[in-house]
Structure 1
């Protein structure tokens, strides 16, 4: 998934915490994070909820 700014330009984050901070500032609430493993690779999942 890619996140774009108001001008349609892709936003790149160096760390996941930067992306979470961006989403929080833009009206989302962090719910949960968890890891799953597929084909011997860890996959990180972050659940967010749009604030009302």
Structure 2
């Protein structure tokens, strides 16, 4: 994807705290706990769930 070129594999974002799989959905719902506090971040990428 286009995002993959900006954020290469292995870039630490957070620790997985919960994984949920629905039989009727093609994707997993994954919750992350951020590795660093949000006060240390200058930019954040937010995706919308359609």
TM range, smaller chain: 0.3 to 0.5
Between Structure 1 and Structure 2, which shows a larger proportion of strand residues?
A: 1
Report the TM-score, using the length of structure 1 for normalisation: 0.37
Instruction: Tell which has more relative contact order, 1 or 2 (C-alpha 8 A, sep 6+).
Output: 2
